[in-house]
Amino acid sequence: MRSRSKLLCLTTGLILAIVALMSGCTSGRSVSQSSSPPPALSVATSSLLQDPPQLVSHNGFLHVDLLVARRQVEVGGRKLWALTYNGRYMPPTLRIRPGDRLDLTLRNNLDQATNLHTHGLHVSPSGHSDNIFVHIHPGRAFHYSYRYPDSLRPGTYWYHSHSHTMSAPQVAGGMSGVLIVDGLRPYLPPNLRHITEHVIGLKDFQVQGDSVKTKDLHIGAPTNRTVNGQLNPNILIRPGETQLWRLANISANIYYNLHLQGQRFHVIAHDGTPVDQVWTADSLLLAAGARFDVLVQGGPAGRTQLQTLAYNTGPGGNKFPKATLATLVSEGPAQHPAALPTSTFAPTTDLSHARIAVRRTIVFSENKKGTKFYINGKQFDPNRVDVRAKLNTVEEWTVRNVSDEEHSFHVHTNKFQLMSINGHPHNGHGLQDTASIPAHGRFVIRTRFNDYTGKTVLHCHILNHEDAGMMAVLEIVK
């Protein structure tokens, strides 16, 4: 699938970025409340959406050099100092296929340690693969080598820093990008296999002076929500045209409740897993770390908005206000709207009738001040194993949240099937790697431990919470 190579010019328009209001709740927002954060930017824009450059595998191999450095770059229409991969706030999209090998050298030019996590990918958690226990110190480099199985599921993933206590500031500073596993095309009808495709990388940033803010982050503070680092870009589509959008929440902490005015999203993949049946929705909640691959069709000539709707994560959480993310501009020669898939789409794994080896309860909690976070009453310790699971078995976990705010549950290495939420059966039409736990709620998941042994983690993907202790070590053993 290829993005359109020629785009029509648009009349310059003045569009104000929507300013997010800071809520009075402070759980996990900051350890220091000594000063009020600056307001979000108000920027004039008429830019077209820019998809990130792509690094694409060839003949089963992709070699990538990533340089981590603090650079002055264009973010949201102005020059700011940010934490970058290869000098970009929105770094290259890495594009691979099932069975590929990815060799990646990460060079650290920061004054602090870092590392890299390939979010959602089924790959070894040990050695030089997706090992989040690695520390790459300033001035040093580390060579990652990933060998992906032929069974790797196609869809949208992402990569980001996972350096404990520094994950939130580094990702908020700019260290996140999109990774795509190709292979969705064969499931689409022939007339939709070469449609325009867009990466919709949702990243937000706060400003401190002439820099993207990385310290004392307040989750509910005024922030600037961007698409691929742009404030309210224009996305071109012809009336009746069908496009594939890869929606990815690659922000550090915040939620997105996406809505496209007058349209419905046609979901074909969730968290890097093709769905067994295409489903539609007026809005899609992307908790921190979540992704959806959707089909969108152009309506009559005119303009409509891609918005994030107001969302409240609970009485002790954050109130995210409504904001405009991008403007969809329908213009040019009309196309006859293609019939979109509505029935069986792709094969998937169903663990509903699997033999359960172990049942566990996982409890997310926090202190009253919202400054310390726990899993099963303990803060993260990389030298302690919290959960030990056996390879080639299926476990059922009841994940409980006893706090006053939602948490974004994420587990590495193996995806899970979300069975129920607050006691109500749930059909997500496939496996996923991220799910939001309601405040004072619970859900039940089932997961199969396939292919890989070693130490990995489960955690809250609100990175302020992860850095403040809400992470546990999972060891998979033979």
pLDDT tens sequence across 84-105: 999 999 999 999 999 999 999 9
Q: How many other β-carbons are positioned within 10 Å of the β-carbon of residue 311?
A: 19
Mind listing the pLDDT tens digit for each residue in 165-174?
999 999 999 9
Q: Which of 91, 429, 417, 443 is nearest to 279 (CA)?
A: 429
DSSP 110-172: SSS-B--EEET-----STTSS-TT--B-TT-EEEEEEE--TTPPPEEEEEE---TTTHHHHHH
For the cut 70, the answer to whether the pLDDT of residue 15 exceeds it is no
Mind listing the pLDDT tens digit for each residue in 203-221?
999 999 999 999 999 999 9
74 domain-assigned: yes
Mind listing the pLDDT tens digit for each residue in 248-292?
999 999 999 999 999 999 999 999 999 999 999 999 999 999 999
> How far apart are the C-alpha atoms of 119 and 459, rounded to whole Å?
12
Residue for token pair 């209001």: 21
The pLDDT score that the predictor gives to residue 46 is 56
> How far apart are the C-alpha atoms of 275 and 349, rounded to whole Å?
10
Query: Which residues is 454 bridged to in the sheet?
Result: 476
DSSP 211-224: EE--SS--TTS--E
- What proportion of the chain, given as a percentage, has pLDDT over 90? 90
43 domain-assigned: no
Whether the CB-CB separation of 432 and 416 falls below 8 Å is answered with yes
For the cut 70, the answer to whether the pLDDT of residue 8 exceeds it is no
* Structural domains in the chain (count): 3
> How far apart are the C-alpha atoms of 477 and 253, rounded to whole Å?
32
Query: Which residues is 156 bridged to in the sheet?
Result: 180
Q: How many other β-carbons are positioned within 10 Å of the β-carbon of residue 383?
A: 6
* Amino acid code (one letter) for 474: L
Does 213 lie in the same domain as 163? no
Mind listing the pLDDT tens digit for each residue in 324-369?
999 999 999 999 999 999 888 999 999 999 999 999 999 999 999 9
308 domain-assigned: yes
30 domain-assigned: no
Radius of gyration of the chain (CA): 21
Query: Which residues is 395 bridged to in the sheet?
Result: 358, 447
Label residue 78 by pLDDT band (50, 70, 90): very high
Query: Which residues is 83 bridged to in the sheet?
Result: 70
Does 198 lie in the same domain as 178? no
Q: Say whether 191 sits in a helix, a strand or coil.
A: helix
Whether the CB-CB separation of 467 and 370 falls below 8 Å is answered with no
The pLDDT score that the predictor gives to residue 63 is 98
Mind listing the pLDDT tens digit for each residue in 244-254?
999 999 999 99
The pLDDT score that the predictor gives to residue 194 is 95
Mind listing the pLDDT tens digit for each residue in 359-373?
999 999 999 999 999
Whether the CB-CB separation of 204 and 224 falls below 8 Å is answered with yes
* Average pLDDT rounded to a whole number, residues 444-472: 98
Mind listing the pLDDT tens digit for each residue in 118-162?
999 999 999 999 999 999 999 999 999 999 999 999 999 999 999
Whether the CB-CB separation of 342 and 249 falls below 8 Å is answered with no
Does 296 lie in the same domain as 253? yes
Does 162 lie in the same domain as 212? no
17 domain-assigned: no
**End position of a domain, from candidates 186, 215, 245:** 186
Does 194 lie in the same domain as 176? no
**End position of a domain, from candidates 146, 161, 186:** 186
Does 363 lie in the same domain as 312? no
Q: Exposure of 133 by Cβ count < 10 A (0-12 exposed, 13-18 middle, 19+ buried)? A: middle
**End position of a domain, from candidates 136, 162, 186:** 186
47 domain-assigned: no
Q: Which of 306, 232, 223, 231 is nearest to 77 (CA)?
A: 231
336 domain-assigned: no
The pLDDT score that the predictor gives to residue 250 is 98
How much is the pTM? 0.90
Average pLDDT, the chain: 91
Does 245 lie in the same domain as 311? yes
Does 404 lie in the same domain as 288? no
Does 105 lie in the same domain as 199? no
Label residue 11 by pLDDT band (50, 70, 90): very low
For the cut 60, the answer to whether the pLDDT of residue 240 exceeds it is yes
The pLDDT score that the predictor gives to residue 342 is 86
User: By residue range, what is the domain housing residue 109?
Assistant: 54-186
- What proportion of the chain, given as a percentage, has pLDDT over 70? 90
Whether the CB-CB separation of 200 and 249 falls below 8 Å is answered with no
CATH number assigned to the domain comprising residue 296: 2.60.40.420
Does 273 lie in the same domain as 310? yes
9 domain-assigned: no
Q: Tokens at residue 381, please?
A: 């310790």
> How far apart are the C-alpha atoms of 45 and 211, rounded to whole Å?
20
Buried b (16+ CB within 10 A) or exposed e, 441-469: bbbbbbbbbbebbbbbbbbbbbbbbbbbb
Does 196 lie in the same domain as 179? no
Mind listing the pLDDT tens digit for each residue in 384-432?
999 999 999 999 999 999 999 999 999 999 999 999 999 999 999 999 9
For the cut 70, the answer to whether the pLDDT of residue 31 exceeds it is no
Whether the CB-CB separation of 211 and 27 falls below 8 Å is answered with no
The pLDDT score that the predictor gives to residue 257 is 98
